[in-house]
A and B are shown apart, each in its own frame.
Chain A
């Protein structure tokens, strides 16, 4: 039986239909009271995660993801169904929303001062995100920074943090009381787990903040904290590369990103200690901004 849920995640709402118990269970672990059951109304986007039909419903069962009537991806094995839904939500926003300049980046804030952390997979971005979120920072998003066009204002879109491979054990050790999803094994990103951010982030999920810095983090096991100031051109180009809807918003996106780069500090950091990074961010950026 398909059950209908509402995920009211500022600034977008999703209705989720699913017949898979593990999806429901993970949703309620991760989203807690954000998840509303037996919902009959429409949301911004209607998503569903369903069992494949036919023989594939009992031999090596697969899960299919739909955004309304559209099936943007090929099915995945059952056990990845919840991660599939999370990626599907990212896809839905990336494919439809053009009211914000969207940057593939983590965003965290202290008070109303926010820092952007764009970084490629494997750079330790999500581990850093999880660490900061559990140490007094407010998580806006681990994946998508929503910037109000032509401003430095960033809008929260609070979602779980997606941790991969070795970071899974690290995170489970660091945050023994964290709300973790099941592990999705052998995805295109390796093993993947989702971690719900602490209450502070959820409680402030409609409160925007102003960007004060862009930091490109890199984890290096054998390197103590090193900080480089990035020149504006490099930083701008890196932001462009990470801006999901740059091609669609064109001049608006260009102006927004150049305005950000002009008005914030830009750093690239190499580190092997999360607390060192947290101290640097607090002392050099937040307290000086």
Chain B
């Protein structure tokens, strides 16, 4: 019935020709998986690049065209919001750097093509963050309702403040003052990243290509969540392939070393190459080999299972277990044990209540469609 595997979904990205003999049902399933992973527009761009788009059945093309329009809109929206934010916050003095998706788009980078955004991520210095938050609240950005535990998590331990949502437009902005959570003990100097920022022709601050790539891979491999793992892997692959020169690779390796994220760089190169055939130059590969961890077999197990397209139709056999292990590993990396136990205890209390009383037991008011 489900005649499509995660492996096949990846192969279609790497070489769209693999879809030549797809049945209609396989196409429908591919669309379903890609929509779930927010990758329809990304694949659409790939199909167009390789002149394969015309060979997709018309009824299926429609889904990709819908996604293209959505992605174009998101791009415009992000540019609009970024211009507003840059203007509104210019009096705050501190740095204002657009990270992740918004950064890709504002940098007009290949990796920004066909992206769907859930939020806009901003990096500012810790001293400015209070002023930034106050100013934004004045301008109609509101924080969503949080449990007191979540509020405490953000304020005390995290590297960002609770997300702010624009009252009218619904855009969500995450403001960070560091790249990784404070509590992780990996006290990297955010200035190491901030020094790496560049101004785009349109006047937006974004990270340089090496810093952008490093941040992208830290976000994937120094994290407890891999729900969008495959998409993140494609991002890293695209960043690497569209900047494939010596200056980029040396800069990336140097920055990874300075900030202590060599392991994450090693893993990113390993799985990008394994799944997407990313061509990493020999000198870079040799330099990165120094970061090879002792427990590579364990990491291979969890990441080969979770970095593939993730949908019930095509989930690998050990996906659930691997995802749980990523969760554990991510939490251990980010929090000292005593805080981790407290955090998980609170979170699992919520989960148990939801299991008993249904998912929406804590949902405050029933919204109706």
Residue numbers of A with Cβ under 8 A of B are 40-44, 46, 52-57, 62, 64, 68-70, 72-76, 84, 87-88, 91, 96-99, 187-188, 247-250
The reply on B357 being an interface residue by CB < 8 A is: yes
* Residues on B with beta carbons closer than 8 Å to the beta carbon of A75: 358, 360, 366
Query: Are B369 and A88 within 8 A (Cβ)?
Result: yes
In this complex, the member of A73, A74, A250 whose beta carbon has the largest number of chain B beta carbons within 10 angstroms is A74
The reply on B191 being an interface residue by CB < 8 A is: no
Q: Considering only CB atoms, which chain B residue lies closest to A247 in the complex?
A: B73
Q: Considering only CB atoms, which chain A residue lies closest to B354 in the complex?
A: A54
Query: Are A84 and B356 within 8 A (Cβ)?
Result: no
Query: Are B73 and A248 within 8 A (Cβ)?
Result: yes
Complex: A104 Cα to B359 Cα, angstroms: 32
Query: Are A42 and B66 within 8 A (Cβ)?
Result: no
Complex: A75 Cα to B29 Cα, angstroms: 27
Q: Considering only CB atoms, which chain B residue lies closest to A88 in the complex?
A: B369
Query: Are A96 and B32 within 8 A (Cβ)?
Result: no
Q: Beyond the given A68-B36, A69-B312, A96-B66, please list 14 additional residue pairs across the A-B interface where CB-CB is below 8 A.
A: A41-B25, A41-B28, A42-B28, A52-B359, A53-B358, A62-B358, A72-B369, A74-B366, A76-B366, A91-B369, A99-B65, A99-B66, A249-B69, A250-B73
* Residues on A with beta carbons closer than 8 Å to the beta carbon of B1: 40
Q: Considering only CB atoms, which chain A residue lies closest to B311 in the complex?
A: A69
Query: Are A74 and B360 within 8 A (Cβ)?
Result: yes
Task: List 25 interface pairs A-B (beta carbons < 8 Å), by A numbering.
Answer: A42-B28, A42-B32, A52-B360, A53-B358, A54-B358, A55-B358, A56-B357, A56-B360, A56-B361, A68-B32, A69-B311, A73-B367, A73-B369, A74-B363, A74-B368, A76-B366, A76-B368, A87-B369, A96-B63, A188-B368, A247-B73, A248-B69, A248-B70, A248-B73, A250-B73
Q: Would you give the shortest CB distance from A251 to chain B, in whole angstroms?
A: 11
Complex: A140 Cα to B198 Cα, angstroms: 54
Complex: A42 Cα to B25 Cα, angstroms: 6
* Residues on A with beta carbons closer than 8 Å to the beta carbon of B366: 74-76
Query: Are A98 and B358 within 8 A (Cβ)?
Result: no
* Residues on A with beta carbons closer than 8 Å to the beta carbon of B350: none
4 A-B pairs with the lowest CB-CB distances in the bound complex, closest first:
A42-B28, A56-B358, A188-B368, A87-B369
Contact of A44 among B63, B73, B311 (CB under 8 A): B63
Q: Considering only CB atoms, which chain A residue lies closest to B2 in the complex?
A: A42
Complex: A188 Cα to B367 Cα, angstroms: 9
* Residues on B with beta carbons closer than 8 Å to the beta carbon of A91: 369
Query: Are B358 and A52 within 8 A (Cβ)?
Result: yes
Given contacts A54-B357, A87-B369, contact A98 B65 (CB under 8 A): yes
Query: Are A69 and B367 within 8 A (Cβ)?
Result: no
Q: List the count of A-B residue pairs having beta carbons below 8 Å apart.
A: 80
* Residues on A with beta carbons closer than 8 Å to the beta carbon of B355: 53-54
Q: Would you give the shortest CB distance from B33 to chain A, in whole angstroms?
A: 9
Q: Would you give the shortest CB distance from B214 to chain A, in whole angstroms?
A: 31
Q: Would you give the shortest CB distance from A11 to chain B, in whole angstroms?
A: 9
* Residues on A with beta carbons closer than 8 Å to the beta carbon of B357: 54-56
Query: Are B66 and A97 within 8 A (Cβ)?
Result: yes
Q: Would you give the shortest CB distance from B139 to chain A, in whole angstroms?
A: 21
Complex: A97 Cα to B29 Cα, angstroms: 18
- Please encode chain B, from 331 to 369, with 1 for each CB lying within 8 Å of some chain A CB and 0 for all others: 000000000000000000000001111111101001111
The reply on B35 being an interface residue by CB < 8 A is: yes
Complex: A261 Cα to B231 Cα, angstroms: 43
Query: Are A69 and B36 within 8 A (Cβ)?
Result: yes
The reply on B62 being an interface residue by CB < 8 A is: yes
* Residues on A with beta carbons closer than 8 Å to the beta carbon of B70: 98, 248
Query: Are B356 and A54 within 8 A (Cβ)?
Result: yes
* Residues on B with beta carbons closer than 8 Å to the beta carbon of A248: 69-70, 73
* Residues on A with beta carbons closer than 8 Å to the beta carbon of B312: 69
Complex: A250 Cα to B69 Cα, angstroms: 10
Q: Would you give the shortest CB distance from A64 to chain B, in whole angstroms?
A: 8
Complex: A9 Cα to B171 Cα, angstroms: 34
Complex: A180 Cα to B220 Cα, angstroms: 52
- Please encode chain B, from 6 to 44, with 1 for each CB lying within 8 Å of some chain A CB and 0 for all others: 000000000000000000110011001001100000000
Q: Considering only CB atoms, which chain A residue lies closest to B30 in the complex?
A: A42
Q: Considering only CB atoms, which chain B residue lies closest to A61 in the complex?
A: B358
* Residues on A with beta carbons closer than 8 Å to the beta carbon of B28: 41-44
Q: Would you give the shortest CB distance from B61 to chain A, in whole angstroms?
A: 10
Complex: A88 Cα to B368 Cα, angstroms: 11
Complex: A44 Cα to B61 Cα, angstroms: 11
Complex: A31 Cα to B218 Cα, angstroms: 51
* Residues on B with beta carbons closer than 8 Å to the beta carbon of A84: 369
Complex: A84 Cα to B366 Cα, angstroms: 13
Q: Considering only CB atoms, which chain A residue lies closest to B363 in the complex?
A: A74
* Residues on A with beta carbons closer than 8 Å to the beta carbon of B24: 41
In this complex, the member of A42, A64, A98 whose beta carbon has the largest number of chain B beta carbons within 10 angstroms is A42
Complex: A99 Cα to B58 Cα, angstroms: 12
Complex: A97 Cα to B62 Cα, angstroms: 9
Q: Would you give the shortest CB distance from A76 to chain B, in whole angstroms?
A: 7
Complex: A250 Cα to B25 Cα, angstroms: 33
In this complex, the member of A62, A64, A96 whose beta carbon has the largest number of chain B beta carbons within 10 angstroms is A96
* Residues on B with beta carbons closer than 8 Å to the beta carbon of A72: 369
Q: Would you give the shortest CB distance from A50 to chain B, in whole angstroms?
A: 11
* Residues on B with beta carbons closer than 8 Å to the beta carbon of A249: 69
* Residues on A with beta carbons closer than 8 Å to the beta carbon of B63: 44, 96
Query: Are A53 and B368 within 8 A (Cβ)?
Result: no
Given contacts A41-B25, A99-B65, A99-B66, contact A68 B35 (CB under 8 A): yes
Q: Considering only CB atoms, which chain B residue lies closest to A51 in the complex?
A: B358
Complex: A76 Cα to B367 Cα, angstroms: 9
Complex: A73 Cα to B366 Cα, angstroms: 9
Complex: A128 Cα to B172 Cα, angstroms: 42
Q: Would you give the shortest CB distance from A138 to chain B, in whole angstroms?
A: 24
* Residues on B with beta carbons closer than 8 Å to the beta carbon of A54: 354-359
* Residues on A with beta carbons closer than 8 Å to the beta carbon of B363: 74
